Amino acid sequence: MRPLTPRQKELIARHLLAHPEEIPVCLKARKWHELAALVEFARKDAAPALAHTDPSLYRLLRRQITEFHLRGWSCLDLKKLRELAGD
């Protein structure tokens, strides 16, 4: 599989944050690239500059990332996901 572009990674991560019920499905389907993109995005957190340029998007991302952590998905190991993905 070709490496994902930064934009593709962001879109995948934002989709999974908006639909956290799909995270276990990705795990079962071994979609390592997608899960790695999600974990990387969540670790970086929402860009603080977004609070000034798009406050509603910033609030939404902060809420979704917080929910990601509260559900326990932050235990996913980015290094291991990248290895499994072949990166």
Question: For 28-39, what is each residue's pLDDT tens digit?
Answer: 999 999 999 999
Q: Is 52 inside any structural domain?
A: yes
Q: Is 30 inside any structural domain?
A: yes
Q: Is 72 inside any structural domain?
A: yes
The secondary structure element, H or E, covering residue 64 is helix 55-70
40, 9 Cβ separation under 8 angstroms: yes
Show the domain range for 16: 6-78
Q: pTM for the whole thing? A: 0.92
Whole-angstrom distance, CA of residue 46 vs CA of residue 64? 10
Q: Is 73 inside any structural domain?
A: yes
Q: Is 84 inside any structural domain?
A: no
pLDDT, averaged per 10 consecutive residues of the chain (87 residues), comes to 88 98 97 97 95 97 97 96 91
Q: How many domains does the chain have?
A: 1
